[in-house]
Amino acid sequence: MNPVPRSIRVRSKTRPIRILVTAGPTIEPIDPVRFMSNRSTGFLGYEIAGLARKRKYQVTLISGPVNILPPPGVKFIKIETARELHQRVHLELKRADVLVMSSAVSDFKPKFFHKRKIKSKKEFGIRLVKNPDILGSIRPAERKGKIIVGFSLETDNLLANSIRKRIDKRADLMIANKLDGENTPFGGGRKTVYLIDRLGRVKKLKNITKPHIACAILDTIEELCYTPV
């Protein structure tokens, strides 16, 4: 584990680094029984939160529904929908130095919620509307002096699309994952990801576990904390 950079250690004499981590999926209800979601397990976000706590950060973890216990010593907030996550991120970001947006947010939600269970039919259509773009909604005044970390999941043109996303979302660091027949970012096992930072550096982490990915992400955050913008 790398030591905490000197500039962070100086600031932590008065208070620890405050990190806000989001993890897991969001779910969007269709009726009282059914919902839309995705395959996110929340494992990496929980690893980041737990390791940050071990590094003496003050940690807030906002999580969608997962089957993982929160790490000890963190402020834990449960959410379900993307709109709930949107509201909590903007609220908690006021008190954070770093935002790690590792949750898998549902891009769409049903336009209408059916108050009663939808009866079985041969066909049924659902009209979808766009959910809030949480990273894109963070205003310059909200992000001033903070480190913003986003995640990119692509099936094609991984690096080009992820570099563009980092720029578009004004993120300091983008974690790029590829989903294809050989790679999946979901669950445990060994993964290959790319770390793309605001300095234009691209670092490939090949065939490593999520605890090691979490360590590399926090190491890079700590470097960026004292690197001039």
Question: Rounded CA gap, 75 and 141, in Å?
Answer: 24
Give the chain's largest Cα–Cα span: 64
Q: At what angle do helices 43-54 and 210-226 cross, to 10 degrees?
A: 60
Q: What is the pLDDT of residue 229?
A: 56
Q: By the 8 A CB rule, do 137 and 87 touch?
A: no
**Structure token pair of residue 42:** 């929340």
CA dihedral of residues 151, 188, 40, 201 (deg, nearest 10)? 0
CATH superfamily, domain 6-110+128-226, is CoaB-like (3.40.50.10300)
CB atoms closer than 10 angstroms to residue 128? 13
Q: Where are the domains of the chain?
A: 6-110+128-226
Catalytic residues: 38
With a cut of 70, list the residues of the chain below it in pLDDT: 1-14, 181-183, 226-229
Q: What is the pLDDT of residue 39?
A: 87
Question: Rounded CA gap, 29 and 81, in Å?
Answer: 8
Beta pairing, strands 190-197 & 128-130: unpaired
Question: Rounded CA gap, 129 and 107, in Å?
Answer: 9
Q: What is the pLDDT of residue 3?
A: 42
Q: By the 8 A CB rule, do 175 and 151 touch?
A: yes
Which of 130-161 are b and which e, b meaning 16 or more Cβ less than 10 Å from the residue's Cβ? ebbebbeebeeeebeebbbbbbbbbeeebeeb
